[in-house]
Amino acid sequence: MAARRRVVPIDRGTVETLKQQRRGQDAERWAAGPDWRNIDSVFCTRQGGYVEQQVVRGRMAAVEKGSGMPAIRFHDLHHTHATLLLRQARRSVKEVSERLGPANVTVTLQLYAHVLADQHVEMAHVIGGVLDGGL
């Protein structure tokens, strides 16, 4: 089970994007007047309420279509995040697990072991080089 609340650091560019989104709500808040529901969310409806899942799916489909990306489920973004950190950024399973929030590293390792398979081949070459007197 995932941890309920945790701090997830984000980069400055993402912080600025979220701040712009929040500032953009001011006009919607003003237009909604007393009908505004303040759920204190960066992403909400024009009346300040929760965004329905089908709306998110529709917006995602539009972005995918416009960008040529393949269609994926919203939760697949979580898996993409993990895969990029493990494969491209070469972050450890422990670091990725702490960022994503599974209760323990074993869960993350079970889910993403296939992503790490190519690293085993690379490690074989590295240890081979060490044993041959290189590195």
HEC-encoded secondary structure of the chain: CCCCCCCCCCCHHHHHHHHHHHHHHHHHHHHHHHHCCCCCCCCCCCCCCCCCHHHHHHHHHHHHHHHCCCCCCCCHHHHHHHHHHHHHCCCCHHHHHHHHCCCCHHHHHHHHHHHHHHHHHHHHHHHHHHHCCCC
Cα separation of the two ends of the chain: 41
In a domain, 3, yes or no: no
Q: Quote the pLDDT of residue 78.
A: 86
In a domain, 60, yes or no: no
In a domain, 97, yes or no: yes
Number of independent structural domains in the chain: 1
Whose tokens are 């992503």? That residue is 115
In a domain, 37, yes or no: no
In a domain, 109, yes or no: yes
- Identity (one letter) of the amino acid at 121? V
d(CA 31, CA 56): 22
In a domain, 87, yes or no: yes
In a domain, 135, yes or no: yes
Domain enclosing residue 96, as ranges: 73-135
Spell out the per-residue pLDDT of the chain, length 135, in tens: 444 677 889 999 999 999 999 998 888 999 999 999 989 888 999 999 999 999 999 999 999 999 988 888 888 888 889 889 988 888 888 888 888 886 688 888 888 888 777 777 777 888 888 888 766
pTM over 0.85: no
